[in-house]
Amino acid sequence: MAELSRHDYDVVVVGGGHNGLACAAYLAAAGRSVAVLERSAVLGGAVRSARIFAGYDANVSQFAYLVSLLPPLVVEELGLDVELRRRDVSSYTPVGDGGVLVDAADRAATRRSLGADADGWEELYAMTSRVAERVFPTLTEPLRDRDAFRRHVGDDGAWRDLFERPIGELVARQLGDDVVRGIVLTDALIGTFADVHAPDLLANRCFLYHVIGGGGGHWDVPVGGMGTVTAQLAAAAERAGATLVTGAEVTAIASDGRRATVTLAGGRTVSAREVVANPAPVVLERLLGTPPSGPAPEGAQVKINMLLSRLPRLRDRDIPPERAFAGTFHVNETATQLDRAYRQAAAGELPEVVPCELYCHSLTDPSILGTDLRAAGAHTLTLFALHTPARLFRADPAEALERAKHRILRSLDSVLAEPIEDCLLDPECIEVVGPLELEAELGMPGGHIFHRDLSWPFAESPAEVGRWGVETDVANVFVCGAGARRGGGVSAVPGRSAAMAILDPARTEQTSAR
């Protein structure tokens, strides 16, 4: 990594996550002098890969693991060499000695599996596809107001169901089976502690971002692991002339709206015309010394990474594990189970049956495994548990995480034909990451993977119209991380938006006039 060779830059980007790197690449390509300051020893934040199991050549996407929201426009503009591979199966949900298989490539098989809900399922996702085609391209445009956005969507029924009424109502109306309802509702809850029936519509916002990616809602596998996305963004930034510095923790930011001073641990300062912050907005407020503008963020997930000697056997003898785990593998995620788990967690208790889902990267992309592991039939497996908020871990973090691990694995074992731990390549080939571990490792307050509650992808105040959703109350300080409007997920959209806001000709003229 480079070192700071000067004391002033046009722009200082605080945080070398994927959005910070994207922002730096755009700004440096536009001729701005840019320094990216990353507190850890490696770039990428949550979008990175690592060989986390000692002695084994498995390059695991440790935190984020799938890509849906990365616009082709960003790939094209930055010249990224990123391959996103479509999974053979959308999802499989074990039910007793059978299961529900959703295969995007085989409509007839999917309809047979869905049974009486086949028509309702197709109607629901035809509607979300129409919305996705309209909404996804707007992520790289200035913000419209709510009315203009509604007109752009152009479907009053879809607007009501997705933007005005709790998502639970739509799912209950369209689908009758508890299992099938749950398959849909998980997309409203990943990374979000929410009630799908609540009028706050937080679950709706989460659902929307899960179904609009690429204009069709597909979640794809980054070939080589998440680290390839980071590496490509870092390479684009360096090619353009940005300085990328690791081990550079920022402790304070001071600004008068025209020039800013960034202070690093150890006391060194760097001045800049603009500062862009990749960390959560609440972290930026702390760096600026301003009071928090909202409640403390709270994440709600436990992630378990595993390296297996083989995939586990299933109760369903009609589907091989290689097919069942090729997509998202749902575990105890019926609509009823999701509601019950939410209520238990909201009452301060770890859910008795933890809803979770799994994904096998190595089935779609074996390149993340070394030659010997591939030859031996080894696989990675990533588990993501829902409704496990940070509040459940704070009193006794170590004990709570161990209890969560035990309960999550028990939930998984309940739908398999053998214990998952019997399939581990080694007893140590399991990593458990809870909200507090995410907070410590990545600086995400409360382990919130979206940095704060997700926002609608349109302006919610007149001041935002025509802007980019990254501006702050300080004229020359911007956010570029998941906490920006249209943030969340691996998209680089907030990074690009922050660069567009800074490069906006009207703003440049106003700044020059001052």
Residue 4 pLDDT: 87
Q: What is the pLDDT of residues 189-215, one digit of tens each?
A: 999 999 999 999 999 999 999 999 988
| CB-based burial label for 137 (10 Å; 0-12, 13-18, 19+) | middle
Helix (H, G, I), strand (E, B), or coil: what is residue 378? Answer: coil
Q: What is the pLDDT of residues 450-463, one digit of tens each?
A: 999 999 999 999 99
Q: Which residues contact 278 (CB under 8 A, 6 or more apart)?
A: 13, 14, 15, 16, 17, 19, 20, 23, 45, 479, 480, 481, 495
Q: Are 28 and 495 in contact (CB under 8 A)?
A: no
Q: Which residues contact 207 (CB under 8 A, 6 or more apart)?
A: 162, 167, 187, 188
Using the structure block, give the residue that is written with the tokens 């908020």. Answer: 389
The two tokens of residue 143 are 């913000």
Task: Going from the first residue of the chain to its last (514 residues), give the mean pLDDT of each consecutive group of 10, the final group possibly shorter.
Answer: 85 98 98 98 97 97 96 98 94 97 94 98 98 98 98 98 98 98 98 97 98 91 97 98 97 97 96 98 97 92 98 97 97 98 98 98 98 98 98 97 98 98 98 97 96 97 97 98 96 98 75 47
Q: Which residues contact 362 (CB under 8 A, 6 or more apart)?
A: 368, 369, 374, 378, 379, 380
d(CA 142, CA 125): 27
- The secondary structure element, H or E, covering residue 226 is helix 226-240
Expressed in percent and rounded to 5, the helix, strand and coil fractions of the chain are: 40, 20, 40
Residue 354 pLDDT: 98
d(CA 90, CA 180): 13
pTM: 0.96
d(CA 211, CA 492): 17
d(CA 158, CA 150): 10
Residue 513 pLDDT: 45
The two tokens of residue 430 are 């399991």
Beta bridge partners of 243: 35
d(CA 84, CA 70): 10
Domain ranges of the chain: 8-52+65-82+222-296+447-513
Q: Which fold has domain 8-52+65-82+222-296+447-513?
A: FAD/NAD(P)-binding domain (3.50.50)
Q: Are 35 and 10 in contact (CB under 8 A)?
A: no
Q: Which residues contact 175 (CB under 8 A, 6 or more apart)?
A: 117, 120, 121, 124, 181, 184
d(CA 249, CA 270): 12
Q: Are 330 and 181 in contact (CB under 8 A)?
A: no
d(CA 333, CA 147): 35
Query: How is residue 146 annotated by DSSP?
Result: H
Q: Which residues contact 224 (CB under 8 A, 6 or more apart)?
A: 49, 59, 83, 365, 367, 368
Q: What is the pLDDT of residues 404-435, one digit of tens each?
A: 999 999 999 999 999 999 999 999 999 999 99
At residue 490, what is the residue type?
A: V
Query: How is residue 353 annotated by DSSP?
Result: S
Beta bridge partners of 277: 14, 479
Residue 192 pLDDT: 96
DSSP character string of 291-331:
--SSPPP----EEEEEEESSPPPBS-TTS-HHHHTTSEEEE
